[in-house]
Chain A
Amino acid sequence: MTALNLATQNGLRPEAAEIATSPLAIRGLTVSYGEKPAIFSVDMTIRPGSMTAIIGPNGAGKSTLLKAALGIIRPLSGQTTVFGRPLDTQRARIAYVPQRASVDWDFPTTVLDVVLMGLYRELGLLRLVRSSHRKTAIDALQRVGMADFADRQIGQLSGGQQQRVFLARALAQGADLYLLDEPFAGVDAATEKAIIAVLKSLKAVGKTVVAVHHDLATVEQYFDHAFLINVRPVAEGTVAEAFTAESLQAAYGGRLATAQIDRLSQAG
């Protein structure tokens, strides 16, 4: 919190100081796909070096929140700052891992090639791929246990392996902020363990991780911060502050049995 104190001392209001130091700060974000808003007036301030789970029922706008914050979907209103600056100036510091199911895995390319896509900002249009670039990609694959698969066509991989390749591509980017959309959806238990180990190792070196997360049972085990949303923001803070019976009830309403909520909040 020293950066925050510093910013406050420099005469910024606490709110402004918070935004200035936040890896991802969103204010008043509203997105609509038709007449009904998908997300409405969302404020979110991600803490530096935190691991935040974005939680909410189906259709709550979790993926939409990420996509709108990153400019993939055009919001009706709202602002995003990344490390206190406009998104466009900070793209090199962001690694985004889309939902695995959002791409066509029959695309004619290899595992190594997909990871090399993470080096696009460095390679640009025409720079040749050198052995140093290849090494960066192989190192990233090694961290997710996929180095042996470098030359495989991506369509030959299992769901868990595909998710690891996506994570390796993000690692190759060498970013400071990692945004993952449902990284554990449809993966095997071994992959889930491997992915969470990598994410925790990122946090250990001061990187910030934000993930759309589905499985309420693992929130406390995997994350230190939580952001609950159901179209409107419901709760934000450390897992102890935000992941409570009341806020779960508010986010999920009748969709989550009270007994389930009790069990989850007691587990914590």
Chain B
Amino acid sequence: MSGAEFVPLSLTPILIGIFAAIACALPGNFLVLRRQALIGDAISHVVLPGIVVAFLLTGAVTAWPMMLGAAGAALISVVLIEAIRRLGRIETGAAMGVVFTAMFAAGVLLLERSDTSSVHLDVEHALMGNLESLIWLEATGWRSLLDPQALAGLPPELPRLALVLALVIAFTWVFWRPLKISTFDEGFAQVLGMRTDLLGIALVMIAAIAAVAAFDAVGSIIVIAMFICPPAAARLMTDDLARQVGWSVVFATLSAILGYVFAGYGPLWLGGSDSVSAAGMIATVSGLILALAALFGPRRRGMMA
């Protein structure tokens, strides 16, 4: 494929896929080790009604109102979970399950009942995102990367996700030690004087920001998969946290690239004529990588011991 074809049609969706995958996989490492992996899943369900309400209020699919709506929905769900847990006297896991499902269902109903036909916001979009449509029509080839006029036409999801990824990387780098110590031994971390409660909230917030930004571009399926699959596969490759995080970035990137390519060309190779959803394929590839790591990863015995 030449640059003239690749850059406008495939470069931006692949980059967006990679950025989204890494932004979710990085906090996913700590969430998986803290046995909070489903929080990523939860966030991507909970935010849907918030995003729909933001759309209904503003009448357009714009980033910041949607982010605010998503944050609002996340806040409401945290309050609801706490209320149900206390008033209903049921365990946290059950309370979370109830709230997430209810919030997502409310989002789907809102979507159905409101007129979103003019924009790209529907149930399918919420699940799969719309990676293939994030193309860069202003580009004519590799040289466009240096052309300010062409760069202005980049899909806005790309710089937004790049920013979010930079934030996630900065957070992981600066708070590496507290994250590591408090994930391993929270009581010890507290006696050292660490505010492990605030750190835990910050981690979930970073995960939420990554989830919402990724959700907009690639849908909830990818978000759920990227929080869990690359970190879980990476854990099976090494017994060192820094290396684990490194492996998770490699696996996230690999999933995004292979998933995009398989989605576009896989059916053709198999004799079909259509392509399949890139987001769905990226999630599938990440699941396959996890399966391979579980079968052949050098540290898989340590997990069972």
Contact = CB atoms under 8 A, between A and B. Distances in A.
Contacts of B187: 67, 72, 96, 98, 102
A121 interface: yes
Contacts of A148: none
A153 B238 CA distance: 10
A109 B240 CA distance: 5
Nearest to A95: B191
Contacts of A114: 184
Interface stretch (B14-22, B42-50, B175-183): B175-183
What class of interface size applies to chain A in its complex with B? 20 to 34
Contacts of B181: 117, 120
A187 to B, nearest CB: 18
B191 A96 contact: yes
Interface in A138-154: 153
A15 interface: no
Given A67-B187, A98-B185, A102-B187, A108 B240 contact: yes
B178 to A, nearest CB: 7
B193 interface: yes
Contacts, number: 75
A70 B191 contact: yes
Given A106-B303, A107-B183, A120-B181, A153 B239 contact: yes
A267 interface: no
B279 to A, nearest CB: 29
Contacts of A98: 185, 187-188
Nearest to A120: B192
B28 to A, nearest CB: 14
Given A96-B188, A98-B185, A107-B183, A155 B241 contact: no
A71 B33 CA distance: 24
Interface in A93-143: 94, 96, 98, 102-104, 106-110, 114, 117, 120-121, 123-126
Contacts of A153: 239, 302
B191 A94 contact: yes
B191 A91 contact: yes
A88 interface: yes
Interface of B: 33, 174-178, 180-181, 183-185, 187-188, 190-194, 235, 238-241, 243-244, 302-303, 305
22 contacts: A70-B191, A72-B190, A91-B191, A91-B193, A102-B187, A103-B185, A104-B184, A107-B33, A107-B183, A108-B33, A108-B235, A108-B239, A108-B241, A108-B244, A110-B240, A117-B184, A120-B194, A121-B193, A125-B174, A153-B239, A155-B305, A169-B188
The 9 closest A-B pairs by CB, nearest first: A153-B239, A96-B191, A91-B193, A98-B187, A103-B185, A108-B241, A107-B184, A72-B190, A72-B187
Given A108-B33, A117-B184, 20 more contacts: A70-B191, A72-B187, A96-B187, A98-B185, A106-B305, A107-B33, A108-B238, A108-B239, A108-B241, A108-B243, A109-B240, A110-B239, A114-B184, A117-B181, A120-B177, A120-B181, A120-B194, A125-B176, A153-B302, A156-B302
